[in-house]
Protein backbone atom coordinates (compact mmCIF):
# COMPACT_ATOMS: atom_id res chain seq x y z
CA UNK A 1 0.00 0.00 0.00
CA UNK A 2 1.55 3.36 -1.01
CA UNK A 3 2.34 5.93 1.64
CA UNK A 4 -0.06 8.82 2.04
CA UNK A 5 2.13 11.80 1.20
CA UNK A 6 1.25 14.95 3.16
CA UNK A 7 0.15 17.55 2.46
CA UNK A 8 -3.03 16.39 0.77
CA UNK A 9 -3.48 17.15 -2.91
CA UNK A 10 -4.62 20.69 -3.35
CA UNK A 11 -4.67 22.71 -6.55
CA UNK A 12 -3.81 25.89 -4.67
CA UNK A 13 -0.50 24.40 -3.47
CA UNK A 14 0.62 22.41 -6.53
CA UNK A 15 2.81 23.39 -9.47
CA UNK A 16 3.49 20.85 -12.19
CA UNK A 17 5.02 20.07 -15.57
CA UNK A 18 3.42 17.37 -17.73
CA UNK A 19 4.63 16.15 -21.12
CA UNK A 20 4.53 13.19 -23.44
CA UNK A 21 8.15 12.21 -24.03
CA UNK A 22 9.21 9.88 -26.85
CA UNK A 23 11.34 7.71 -24.55
CA UNK A 24 10.43 4.61 -22.50
CA UNK A 25 9.63 5.29 -18.87
CA UNK A 26 12.48 3.05 -17.69
CA UNK A 27 14.96 5.42 -19.32
CA UNK A 28 13.44 8.52 -17.72
CA UNK A 29 13.41 6.77 -14.34
CA UNK A 30 17.08 5.87 -14.84
CA UNK A 31 17.90 9.56 -15.46
CA UNK A 32 16.19 10.47 -12.17
CA UNK A 33 17.80 7.70 -10.11
CA UNK A 34 21.40 7.44 -11.39
CA UNK A 35 23.89 9.73 -9.61
CA UNK A 36 25.97 9.93 -12.79
CA UNK A 37 23.01 10.99 -14.97
CA UNK A 38 21.09 13.37 -12.67
CA UNK A 39 23.71 16.18 -12.86
CA UNK A 40 23.51 16.16 -16.66
CA UNK A 41 19.94 17.49 -16.75
CA UNK A 42 18.61 18.56 -13.34
CA UNK A 43 19.40 22.32 -13.37
CA UNK A 44 18.98 24.96 -16.06
CA UNK A 45 22.41 26.12 -17.19
CA UNK A 46 24.55 27.91 -16.07
CA UNK A 47 23.55 26.21 -12.80
CA UNK A 48 24.88 22.69 -12.27
CA UNK A 49 24.58 19.83 -9.79
CA UNK A 50 27.36 18.29 -7.71
CA UNK A 51 27.67 16.00 -4.69
CA UNK A 52 24.85 13.63 -5.67
CA UNK A 53 24.05 10.85 -3.21
CA UNK A 54 20.93 8.74 -3.65
CA UNK A 55 19.52 5.81 -1.72
CA UNK A 56 16.54 5.27 -4.02
CA UNK A 57 14.10 3.34 -1.86
CA UNK A 58 11.16 4.28 0.31
CA UNK A 59 12.72 5.92 3.37
CA UNK A 60 16.08 6.36 1.65
CA UNK A 61 18.05 9.59 1.77
CA UNK A 62 18.79 11.90 -1.15
CA UNK A 63 21.28 14.72 -1.33
CA UNK A 64 22.60 17.01 -4.03
CA UNK A 65 24.04 20.48 -4.27
CA UNK A 66 22.86 23.00 -6.85
CA UNK A 67 25.69 25.37 -7.82
CA UNK A 68 25.16 28.80 -9.35
CA UNK A 69 27.28 30.87 -11.71
CA UNK A 70 28.24 33.33 -8.95
CA UNK A 71 29.48 30.70 -6.50
CA UNK A 72 26.07 29.95 -4.96
CA UNK A 73 25.77 26.53 -3.30
CA UNK A 74 22.28 25.30 -2.48
CA UNK A 75 22.29 21.96 -0.64
CA UNK A 76 19.18 19.84 -1.26
CA UNK A 77 18.90 17.13 1.42
CA UNK A 78 15.77 15.02 1.49
CA UNK A 79 14.08 11.67 1.87
CA UNK A 80 12.22 9.41 -0.55
CA UNK A 81 8.68 8.88 0.77
CA UNK A 82 7.65 6.43 -1.96
CA UNK A 83 9.57 4.65 -4.69
CA UNK A 84 7.82 2.53 -7.32
CA UNK A 85 10.53 1.54 -9.83
CA UNK A 86 9.92 2.93 -13.32
CA UNK A 87 6.57 4.40 -12.25
CA UNK A 88 6.78 6.90 -9.37
CA UNK A 89 9.14 8.85 -7.11
CA UNK A 90 7.90 10.85 -4.13
CA UNK A 91 10.46 12.85 -2.17
CA UNK A 92 10.51 15.72 0.30
CA UNK A 93 12.75 18.28 1.93
CA UNK A 94 10.69 17.97 5.13
CA UNK A 95 13.46 15.67 6.38
CA UNK A 96 17.18 16.26 5.97
CA UNK A 97 17.80 12.55 6.35
CA UNK A 98 15.81 9.61 7.65
CA UNK A 99 13.78 10.89 9.78
CA UNK A 100 15.38 14.13 10.96
CA UNK A 101 12.99 17.05 10.42
CA UNK A 102 14.25 20.01 8.43
CA UNK A 103 14.05 23.55 9.79
CA UNK A 104 11.55 24.67 7.13
CA UNK A 105 9.81 22.11 4.88
CA UNK A 106 9.04 23.58 1.47
CA UNK A 107 7.64 20.88 -0.79
CA UNK A 108 6.95 17.28 -1.70
CA UNK A 109 8.05 16.28 -5.21
CA UNK A 110 5.96 13.70 -7.05
CA UNK A 111 7.28 12.37 -10.35
CA UNK A 112 5.27 9.83 -12.34
CA UNK A 113 6.16 7.88 -15.47
CA UNK A 114 3.18 6.38 -17.34
CA UNK A 115 3.65 3.96 -20.26
CA UNK A 116 2.07 5.10 -23.51
CA UNK A 117 1.90 3.26 -26.85
CA UNK A 118 4.96 3.34 -29.07
CA UNK A 119 7.51 3.46 -26.25
CA UNK A 120 6.43 6.93 -25.15
CA UNK A 121 5.92 8.14 -21.58
CA UNK A 122 3.49 10.54 -19.96
CA UNK A 123 5.85 12.37 -17.60
CA UNK A 124 4.51 14.49 -14.77
CA UNK A 125 6.56 16.32 -12.16
CA UNK A 126 4.60 17.97 -9.36
CA UNK A 127 5.84 20.25 -6.62
CA UNK A 128 3.31 20.11 -3.78
CA UNK A 129 3.95 22.88 -1.29
CA UNK A 130 3.16 23.05 2.40
CA UNK A 131 1.52 26.46 2.06
CA UNK A 132 0.03 28.65 -0.65
CA UNK A 133 2.73 31.19 0.15
CA UNK A 134 5.46 28.59 -0.55
CA UNK A 135 3.76 27.72 -3.84
CA UNK A 136 3.65 31.42 -4.82
CA UNK A 137 7.32 31.85 -3.85
CA UNK A 138 8.32 28.83 -5.96
CA UNK A 139 6.32 30.12 -8.92
CA UNK A 140 7.96 33.56 -8.65
CA UNK A 141 11.39 31.87 -8.46
CA UNK A 142 10.70 30.65 -12.01
CA UNK A 143 9.22 27.20 -11.44
CA UNK A 144 7.66 26.82 -14.89
CA UNK A 145 10.67 28.10 -16.81
CA UNK A 146 13.24 26.28 -14.66
CA UNK A 147 11.46 22.95 -14.43
CA UNK A 148 10.54 23.26 -18.11
CA UNK A 149 14.19 23.69 -19.11
CA UNK A 150 15.20 20.82 -16.83
CA UNK A 151 12.54 18.64 -18.48
CA UNK A 152 13.89 19.59 -21.92
CA UNK A 153 17.37 18.58 -20.74
CA UNK A 154 16.00 15.34 -19.25
CA UNK A 155 14.33 14.45 -22.55
CA UNK A 156 17.45 15.27 -24.59
CA UNK A 157 19.66 13.13 -22.34
CA UNK A 158 17.19 10.24 -22.23
CA UNK A 159 17.09 10.14 -26.05
CA UNK A 160 20.86 9.46 -26.09
CA UNK A 161 20.66 6.44 -23.76
pLDDT of res. 2: 39
pLDDT in tens, 38-52: 999 999 999 999 999
* Arithmetic mean of pLDDT, 69-87: 97
pLDDT tens per residue, range 116-136: 999 999 999 999 999 999 999
What residues does 56 pair with on adjacent strands? none
The half-sphere exposure of 154 on its side-chain side, counting CA atoms within 13 A, is 33
Angle between helices 143-158 and 132-140 (to 10 degrees): 70
Spatial CB neighbours of 102, under 8 Å, sequence gap ≥ 6: 77, 93, 94, 95, 96
Using omega within 30 degrees of 0 as the cis cutoff, is the peptide bond preceding 88 cis? no
Structural domains in the chain plus CATH codes: 16-158 (3.30.530.20)
Q: pTM of the full predicted structure?
A: 0.91
Amino acid sequence: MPLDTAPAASEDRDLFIERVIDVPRETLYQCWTSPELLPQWFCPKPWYVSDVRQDVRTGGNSYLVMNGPNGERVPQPGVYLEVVPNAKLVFTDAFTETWKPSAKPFMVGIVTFEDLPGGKTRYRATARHWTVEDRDTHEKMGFHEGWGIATDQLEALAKTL
